[in-house]
Chain A
Amino acid sequence: MTQEIRVTNYPEVLTDRPTHYCPGCHHGTAHRLVAEAITDLGLVDNTILIGSIGCSVFIYNYLTLDAIESPHGRAPAVATGVKRARPDKIVFTYQGDGDLASIGMAEIMHCANRGENITTIFVNNTVYGMTGGQMAPTTLVGQKTTTCPGGRCRENEGMPIRMTEIIASLGGVAFAERVAVNNVKNIMKAKKAVAKAFEYQTKEIGFSFVEILATCPTNWRMTPLQANKRIETEMIPYFPLGNYKDVLAKEEK
């Protein structure tokens, strides 16, 4: 007697509708990781999502959570207000690199430094995706974008910002980790990191931050498979994966 079982169980919080993302974009995978983490921790009815500006602006269409859409870069500031008004709720922001590392640099730095008890999911694809592929602070040296058609130049534009290292050095941060979703092994690690970030928020020990390295095949002018390889060959050497801060792990030692 055999019985057919379904291996793939997409969480209910993930709505059943097609995403607007380009083929091969990692936003969909990142959404699923967030949805799985919230579902596994049983936080679905108690979570407030703070959306940001960027390709992920329509995240409220894909996750059935209460959501607030914040102005460009100000998601951590809005999240601070929400969390202080409703400390019993789980609050998280979902931001891209143009939003978090450029326009919202002040907000994220001070939010992390104050140790606001929120979670930030930072999707780093080294480019301003939605507005047409302009250079972001995280654009790699030599990468061609519409505002640096000859490639980013170290002398003119400086070096790409490594956000997780900066965030990890701030006082109020409980958890900071950089992950990637370019292969199955990294997806499994990313899933654990996202779950841990939400778990730390439930323990109320400070700001938790997860950076997800993602592709933008359209603005990198690559096929999805080439873009996926670029994560491994170009991005991970400059943005090393790993945990940069874990307050509870230190205590255990």
Chain B
Amino acid sequence: MPSRVEFREDRCKGCLLCTEVCPTGIIQQSSRFNQKGYKVTEIAPDRMNECKGCAFCAMMCPDYAINVFTTKQAKGGRK
């Protein structure tokens, strides 16, 4: 199932705790700075389709900067 991760870049403090817990390892530090001067994290280019939607990154994020969305099949399948 395709899942989607959204980073709230204004909240991210660049601690990189999310990069460590991601089981697929698709989160990385970007070269962009946010308003506070932290280098924000992002999903590596073209690897968003590997996201399983486990939301470990959101659970680990101390700044509530990550939102995870997943698509639900109408009948059966995993949620």
Residues of B within 8 A of A14 (CB): 64
Do residues A18 and B20 form an inter-chain contact, with CB atoms below 8 A? no
Contact, CB under 8 Å: A23 / B60: no
Q: Which of B21, B38, B53, B72 contacts A3 (CB 8 A)?
A: B72
Q: Is the CB of B68 within 8 A of A224?
A: no
Q: Which of A25-33, A65-73, A135-143 contacts B (4 or more CB under 8 A)?
A: A25-33
Contact B74 A7 (CB under 8 A): no
Chain A residues contacting B73 (CB-CB under 8 Å) are 2
Q: What's the nearest-Cβ distance from chain B to residue A249, in Å?
A: 26
A26 to B62, CA, bound (A): 6
> Is B63 positioned at the interface, with any CB of A under 8 Å from its CB?
yes
Q: How far is the CB of B50 from chain A (nearest CB, A)?
A: 16
Q: Give the residue name and chain of the A residue nearest to B13 (CB).
A: A23
Q: Would you call B59 an interface residue if the criterion is a C-beta within 8 Å of the partner chain's C-beta atoms?
A: yes
CB distance from A16 to the nearest CB of B (A): 8
Given contacts A18-B11, A225-B16, contact A4 B21 (CB under 8 A): no
Known contacts A1-B74, A5-B69, A7-B55; A24 and B15 CB within 8 A of each other: yes
CB–CB A28/B60 < 8 A: no
Number of chain A residues whose Cβ lies closer than 8 Å to a Cβ of chain B? 30
Taken together as a complex, chains A and B put the C-alpha atoms of A5 and B11 apart, in Å, by 22
Q: How long is the Cα–Cα vector from A8 to B58 in the complex, in angstroms?
A: 7
Residues of chain B contacted by A24 (CB below 8 angstroms): 13, 15-17, 62
Query: Are A3 and B69 CB-contacts (below 8 A) given A8-B55, A184-B56, A224-B15?
Result: no
CB–CB B20/A21 < 8 A: no
Query: Given contacts A14-B64, A27-B62, is CB(A4)–CB(B20) below 8 Å?
Result: no
Name the contact of A32 in the complex, choosing from B11, B56, B64 (C-beta under 8 A): B64
**Is the CB–CB distance between A5 and B71 below 8 Å?**
yes
Let me know if B21 and A7 touch, CB within 8 A: no
Cα–Cα distance between A29 and B56 once the two chains are bound (Å): 13
Contact of B71 among A2, A18, A19, A29 (CB under 8 A): A2
Which of B16, B56, B62 has the most A CB atoms < 10 Å from its CB? B62
Q: Cβ of A32: which chain B residues have Cβ within 8 Å of it?
A: 64
Contact: B17 with A4, CB < 8 Å?
Answer: no
A23 touches B58 (CB 8 A): no
The residue that B63 contacts in the complex, of A4, A5, A18, A217, with Cβ under 8 A, is: A18
Nearest CB on B from A36, distance (A): 11
Chain B: minimal CB distance from A56 (Å): 13
Binary contact track A70-88/B, C-beta < 8 Å → 1, others 0: 0000000000000000000
- Residue of B whose beta carbon sits closest to that of A217: B15
17 new A-B contacts at CB < 8 Å, known A4-B4, A183-B21: A2-B72, A4-B72, A6-B67, A7-B55, A8-B55, A8-B68, A10-B64, A24-B13, A24-B15, A27-B62, A28-B62, A29-B62, A32-B64, A184-B21, A184-B60, A217-B15, A225-B20
5 interchain residue pairs of minimum CB distance: A28-B62, A24-B15, A23-B13, A224-B15, A23-B15
